Amino acid sequence: MASVTPNLLSRAIAALGSSVRTCVIILVCFAPAASVIAAGEYLVQVGSIPLEGVEGRLDHLAFDASTHRLFVAALENHSVEVVDLAGKKRVRQITGISEPQGLLYVPEHKCLLVCSRGDGTCRSFDADSFTEGPWVDLGRNADNIRFDATARVVYIGSAGEPGTGLMSAIDLVSLLPADEGGKPAEPRSPADFLLDRPRQAEPKMEIPLSSHPESFQLDMANHRMLVNVPDAHQVVVLEIGPQGFTNVAAWPVTVGDKNFPMSFDPGSARLFLACRIPARLAAYDTHNGKLLAQVPCVGDADDLYYDVKWKRLYVIGGDGFVDAVQVAETGAQLTLLAHVPTAPRARTGLFIPESQTLAVAAPHFKNSPAAVLLFQAKR
């Protein structure tokens, strides 16, 4: 579509009748800010993969680069959807999972880890055969999951809602099959046997938090973890030692409530988080927890990714948009580039840096089935 200069637009409006001019002026004045931004220049939708029959809320995603498979936690459908991105189709479902939330794929072991809200477990699956392996019981509401590939340790946030939260560290080897060196513990109680899984791993260390932890990031250069604890309006800083966690700081979040998603750029030591009430994106200095910058963003945000290549943030919100935000090379400036429409209640996704692709999980809405929406990030 050809661009229209301000002078040309003014002459065109002047040539119209007075009533028509009024309508045009009203439309121009009240056009949403997103329409002024050329959204397609920065994030272009390139596909949509339907997930027919999947109902309810969708949660987090994971990716297997070797097979181009995307794993989607269909929380209220009690399943994990396996999607072939190359073929643009769903290829499998893992069913019978009680409200899956966080997912982690470990490529060297072809191992998929699934954290469940419903029964508080983290379950392991062989990603080729989908045979279930060892598992760990985290009490309740197992959610976000991260992996330290150097230490071979899995970190999981759980519990809370209501009550105290929990951060756990689990040696990856305890979640692997026996033929790959796995050494899980035996079930510890009658309740464990009722889950009908033969082997149970145990966390190597845990630390309670004031309430449920949402997104967290690993700052391995400083041997620590940065954790969003929204009910406490804080980012909690946990030092990771060989014998356990130490709570070393709590940075107040004053820009808004419900600080759920988070991303981290270790290169600049900047932490980014989004709040839901009001909808704000904020940048913090991880040396001291100082607030550097803040800007409005899409509402109901639940996932946030930093694009290292182009120094850009992607904020995924349930209001039905993704915001692309430029991060200044130096300093603290955040600049909205694009406000790109997605789908109602599509608030989770995954950025795949290898292909500069953003996958957004869109739940079933009216006549539109659940789907994975694919966007290509552009310069």
Q: Express each pLDDT in 291-348 by its tens digit.
A: 999 999 999 999 999 999 999 999 999 999 999 999 998 778 999 999 999 999 999 9
Q: Locate tokens 């910058």: which residue?
A: 293
Q: What is the pLDDT of residues 194-203, one digit of tens each?
A: 554 556 788 9
Contacts of 309 by beta carbon, 8 Å cutoff, 6+ apart: 353, 356
What is the C-alpha separation between 136 and 115, in angstroms, rounded?
Answer: 9
Q: What angle do helix axes 18-29 and 6-14 make, rounded to 10 degrees?
A: 150
Compute, in degrees rounded to 10, the torsion defined by CA atoms 32, 35, 36, 38. Answer: 150
User: What is the mean pLDDT of the segment spanning 370-378?
Assistant: 97
Element (H, E) at 132: strand 132-137
Q: What are phi and psi of 355, to 5 degrees?
A: -120, 5
Q: Are 200 and 218 in contact (CB under 8 A)?
A: no
Give the pLDDT score at 329. Answer: 85
More confident residue, 129 or 31: 129
Q: State residue 85 phi and psi, 5-degree precision.
A: -70, -35
| Domain membership flag for residue 235 | yes
Query: 0.85 cut: is pTM over it?
Result: yes
Closest by CA position to 354, among listed 84, 45, 148, 68? 68
Beta bridge partners, 240, equal 245
Q: Is residue 191 part of a domain?
A: yes
Task: Give a yes or no: residue 321 inside a domain.
Answer: no
Domain that holds residue 120: 97-252
- Average pLDDT, integer, range 360-371: 97
The answer as to whether 54 is a domain residue is no
| b/e per residue 66-90 (b: at least 16 CB within 10 A) | ebebbbbbbbbbbbbbbbebeeeeb
Look up the CATH number of the domain holding residue 219.
2.130.10.10
85 is a domain residue? no
Sign of CA dihedral 180, 181, 186, 191: negative
Q: Are 136 and 175 in contact, with CB atoms under 8 Å apart?
A: yes
Kindly report, residue by residue over 36-80, the tens digit of the pLDDT. Answer: 444 558 999 999 999 999 999 999 999 999 999 999 999 999 999
Give pLDDT tens digits for 131-188.
Answer: 998 999 999 999 999 999 999 999 999 998 889 999 999 999 999 987 887 766 665 5
Cis peptide before 162 (omega within 30 of 0): yes
Where are the extended beta strands (E) located within 214-365? Answer: 216-219, 224-229, 234-241, 244-252, 257-265, 270-277, 280-285, 290-296, 301-307, 312-317, 321-327, 334-341, 348-352, 357-362
Q: What pLDDT shows up at residue 188?
A: 58
Query: Are the C-beta atoms of residues 232 and 210 closer than 8 Å to each other?
Result: yes
**Residue at 110 is within a domain:** yes
Quick one: pLDDT at residue 33? 37
Specify the number of domains making up the chain. 1
Residues sharing a CB contact under 8 Å with residue 333, sequence separation 6 or more, in sequence order: 293, 327
- Band (189; pLDDT cuts 50, 70, 90): low
Phi, psi torsion values for 47, nearest 5 degrees: 180, 165
Long-range contacts formed by 95-99: CB under 8 A, 24+ apart: 97/123, 99/75
The tens digit of pLDDT for each residue in 93-121 reads: 999 999 999 999 999 999 999 999 999 99
Domain presence at residue 153: yes
The whole-number pLDDT of residue 255 equals 98
For residue 77, give the 3-state DSSP assignment: helix
* Span 364-378, average pLDDT: 97
